[in-house]
Structure 1
């Protein structure tokens, strides 16, 4: 963090400018692939639902594919684009994004916006998870059961635009925190599983009786 402060003092002594998404990039809509089109190989595909369930801040490979024919009829995200889910059942998840860092373009489903800019795509993706962004987006959410945000509204939302060097340093720091969080979750899950096994062992011991009422200690 001290390095980032030094960089900000050197590269942004007068502060960091804020610009709207409409000023710094362009949006296009995804469209084409559906779940019924998924297969185990072919052209990589990102479905909007997977942005909530499968992907993190950035990705360089997909877990589903579509045929060349389906891909040909689909909209694509290019390396460096950010794929944003513009539909959700709740406000918290709405407008999460994944920075596409793969080598090839990917087919992108409906209910997405594809954002292209000169910003570091992972920086943009992290920003879409920030409280600063959340406060702004809530002004533009529409719908009742299904919540949506439009490209028109997105263009009005502001994002801090430091130098590319600072963006990359922020991504580096946040990636380290993300990795640490994943490691801690894995450790906690392992500990939880051990506790579950311990609980099951004692549960079965305490609820297993020999005829006559004594606890069965042979288990």
Structure 2
């Protein structure tokens, strides 16, 4: 029997209650930073409504290990784990647990699992946006912390495997392309 299964049988034999997310987290937007003051490189990324940073600056307003959700734009609803200090912009929700019964990384995995649903909740005809109240209304299972921690360990391992698999795939494609373009090796021949 897996450790997770044992923990669930021991700590929550009657199941796990779902709770309103807004009762367990704080969700707020960042602070606008003018695009003209950003650089292509820098120490701290500016996280806004997209998947990638809007730019880089030399100051931050949020710490590492923070959950963000794109609030506005085509990527509204995109969930990310910020593993470095960053600037949270005005089109970025910062999500933090406010209850000691909720693990930050467990919350991240829950929200990442809900990402498609969050993206479907976009509203607005011009620039899509995600309403904070709709995020707060999500129902989240809150198992005991020991169960949350075991779930996080399992999902972190899968994330490591996925990253390794992606790196191996890129390595395979690189060498496949190098080995199958013969004119680069012999100096002659033609490409198909």
For the superposition of Structure 1 and Structure 2, which TM-score range results when normalised by the shorter chain? Answer: 0.7 to 0.9
Aligned to 1:122: 105
Say whether 1:17 aligns with 2:17.
yes
Q: Secondary structure at the residue paired with 1:13?
A: coil
- How far apart are the structure 1 equivalents of 2:157 and 2:4? 14
Hey, what does 1:85 align to over in structure 2? 70
SS at match of 2:93: strand
User: Structure 1 regions of 5+ residues with no counterpart?
Assistant: 55-62, 209-219
**Contact 1:82-1:115 within 8 A present in 2 as well:** yes
Given that 1:33 and 1:66 are in contact with CA atoms closer than 8 Å, whether structure 2 keeps it comes out as no
C-alpha separation in 1, matches of 2:171 and 2:116: 36
Instruction: Name stretches of at least 5 consecutive residues in structure 2 with no aligned partner.
Output: none
1:9-88 paired onto structure 2 within 5 Å? 9-38=9-38, 44-48=44-48, 52-53=51-52, 64-67=56-59, 76-78=61-63, 81-88=66-73
- Aligned residue number for residue 216 of structure 1: none
- Normalising by the residue count of structure 2, what TM-score does the alignment of the two structures yield? 0.78
- Shift, 1:22, TM fit: 1.3
C-alpha distance in structure 2 between counterparts of 1:124 and 1:46, whole Å: 22
Pair member with larger Rg: 1
* Pair 80,161 (structure 1): closer, same or farther in 2 beyond 3 Å: farther
Other structure's SS at 2:19 match: strand
Instruction: Tell me the CA shift for residue 101 of structure 1.
Output: 5.8
Aligned length: 184
Q: Against the structure 1 CA distance between its residues 198 and 49, is the aligned structure 2 distance closer, same or farther, given a 3 Å change threshold?
A: farther
**1:189 equivalent in structure 2:** 170
